Chain A
Amino acid sequence: MIKDFRQAPPINSEAVFVGMATPKNRLAAFVLDLIIIVPFVRLLQSPFRRGMVDSALLEKTADLAQYEFLNTVTFLVVFMLYHSILIYWQGQTIGKIFFHIKVVSLTGQLTFITTLTRTFFMLLGLSLFAVPFLTLFSHPLRRALHDRISDTVVVGLKEYAGFPNDKEKLWATGLTVFALVFPVLILVFLVRVVSNPSLTNDFNLFEAESAQFLPCEFALKKGQTSMESAIELFLAERVTQDCLQDFAQESLWNNQDIELSKFAMALSVYEKAEKSNNYLRSICEESPEHHLCHFSLWLIDQESPKPGNSTSTPLQLLTAPDVENFIKVFAASYALQNNDFILVEKWLGLVSRQTRLQDRVSQLFFHSLLGQEQWDEARLVYRTHLNLQEDDLVAHLINHSNFQEWSVEKRLQILDFFSPAQKPVTSRMPASENNAESALEVYRQSLIEGL
């Protein structure tokens, strides 16, 4: 192997045929040729690459495809011309000169058409994952597909390979068989997957599931669909979150239907609590009469009473699948704010499914009733609407902030009222407040131990 290109024989020297070129030398010559032509190809591709970046940025898909095509064509043309012209001229590319190998025609002089055909089939071989090149290890003259089609051989001028031995042939055959069988196996697998009824059903199921959402551009049309309709479609799970978000965002940036668009934004980004709350607060600041907004904010404050700490996601409640239930719970909570307990009970009674929101409103309802010492109603509420065990309820009562504010006697009364299964606490202790306090502590401890 030469270490210096100056030692290479001149291009027009009379080469002596000494044997077939080694596959390794052929590969090395090919790699060197690539190293040489790639910078030139990249230079010629420059305008197309610039065009590709521009069309990708401007989302001009037709132009992008055109530039990609031109990019590929440039490489193919330069590759073909480089190999064809140089091999036609002297039977050698620069890589072949460097590694002392040469293309020789078996039928006489090399013609340009022959070298062009040879290069074309070389590219074809490359595109077939170089499988046709495996015959270099099995053919007696070490010819690949492109050599055979163009009736040429590649000879080594200084170093050459002997005839392929049995081991080489075995490897080549094995690899060829693998290269042919592997795609067939993949094909068989794909056919089986498609024809397998259970898998097909899964695919269909998936399609059916996604089909409930209408295509965004079809459901929400700019300038035609109102924001109310968009929100309704979202709540009815007919359009996706992203779809509503895009629609609301466009509307906001075009300064159209601002209040509803903000609400739509709050709904569509409810998973990002902070962002969602920002939109809600903005509506509340601008529209003091917006009930839904204030109710939502009230919920947020219930969840995170510390000012400025609104990282919870109560808006998830607003998008619960059962919108009808949500409205009933909303009505109940509205009635609760107005201390209309009959109406609260009515609306809570109409709720068909236990939801977090309902649980929350029921708890508030329950505590309001306790605050007004309406024990029977409170017990009814916790039995009907709150899914709590008796001990849970007592623990819940003791730990509640309102409970601590009441007098000890009242607290004991409540505990006796809500724990009829146990012996009344009041009968076990003297009337003095200190003792009552300690009795309450004993009671609390017994509960904890019981748990």
Chain B
Amino acid sequence: MIIPFLDGFLTFSKAPITWIIILFNVFLFSQNNGLSREVQLQFESWYQDDDFLQTQGRLYKQFSQKRDVAQVVDNSLVGRLAFRDSQFLLQAPLHQWSGDQVAIKKWREDVKDFMLLRAYYPALFLGVSDLQNDFISLLSYQFYHEGLTHLLGNLLLLLIIGGFLERKHSGLIVFLVYLIGGGLAALMYSRLHGLSGAPLVGASGSLCALLGFLTATQFKKETRLFYFILPSKEYMGFIFVPTVYWVLWLCMLEDITGLWSQSSLYSGGVAHMVHLLGFILGCCLGIIYLQFQRWSRWQQNPQSI
């Protein structure tokens, strides 16, 4: 295991803005987690109801224009995929379906309940989805996490990278890169890839923007990583590696791989494209920042460049 460690876990006094972002993430999570879990438990009952999924799958095959969907043999699986298509779920009660009318009647009732419950799902009103992708949600999605592991994983990395950048540059830079990088990444994703009914949540896009900013500003400067090879004192410790190498190898390669191996039928639960877009935007912001610094130095002393 090799993970970035940079300046380590900085205290609140050393990286206040990063800590405020972290605390806001934790606050949103703690406020909505209970409701989210309740709704998720209800959702589970539909996800496990094979009759419901089978019917939904057959109907989605009738509804979807995609040839690939029609070719999938497992109707339950198509039924699961259909949850991501809000247009299908919205049109369900009005559409004229052919087939097993008894099953369809029952399914219509269930879908109505599902859509009602969906309105109470925090990830849907805080995240970015095909039903909600306004300016506010482009900002709010960066602060809401679904599940404790998702939250902890992102926030630990945010503390390490955000704290490092805040010490190196300023808290304002971290805040702006976090917001602009994450927001623009989701916006570009919605334009390039299109959004689905599965909401986009989490700070990953913003974190990748910070990683991109770190890469652009540090580039070949060596930064600290923590390695753990074997559970023995001699086989764990710190190493210094040029930033661009480890960022590309340890972080971005995983997203390129994820994006390349993504099936056209099922895109999985991780938005690799948002990560990559966030990273590219972060790099761009980093380059702009460096140029701005250079320009301001030149303004002060034209001889310096």
- Using a CB–CB distance below 8 Å, which chain A residues touch chain B? 1, 3-6, 24, 27-28, 31-32, 35, 39-40, 42-43, 45-47, 49-50, 53-54, 57-59, 249, 252-253, 255, 262, 265, 272, 275, 278-279, 282
Contacts and interface: CB of A to CB of B under 8 A. Distances in A.
Given A50-B260, A54-B263, A31 B99 contact: no
7 contacts: A28-B235, A31-B230, A35-B229, A53-B263, A57-B265, A58-B71, A249-B100
Interface of B: 1-2, 51, 54, 58, 71-74, 77, 98-103, 105-106, 227, 229-230, 232, 234-235, 237-241, 249-250, 253-254, 256-257, 260-266
A40 B253 contact: yes
Contacts of B261: 42, 45-47, 49-50, 53
State the 8 A-B residue pairs at the shortest beta-carbon distance, nearest first. A46-B260, A46-B261, A252-B100, A53-B263, A49-B261, A1-B234, A253-B99, A59-B73
Given A24-B232, A47-B261, A5 B241 contact: yes
Contacts of A279: 102
A43 B265 contact: no
A93 to B, nearest CB: 14
Q: Is the interface of B mostly helix, strand, loop or mixed?
A: mixed
A39 B257 contact: yes
A59 B253 contact: no
A39 B250 contact: yes
A49 B272 CA distance: 15
A42 B253 CA distance: 9
A5 B227 CA distance: 11
Contacts of B241: 5
Contacts of A39: 249-250, 253-254, 257
A282 B101 contact: yes
Contacts of B101: 282
B77 to A, nearest CB: 6
B230 A58 contact: no
A3 B101 CA distance: 69
Given A35-B2, A50-B262, A58-B73, A278 B106 contact: yes
Given A3-B237, A28-B235, A43-B256, A54 B106 contact: no
B72 A57 contact: yes
Contacts of B105: 278
A4 B239 contact: yes
B250 A54 contact: no
A159 B81 CA distance: 56
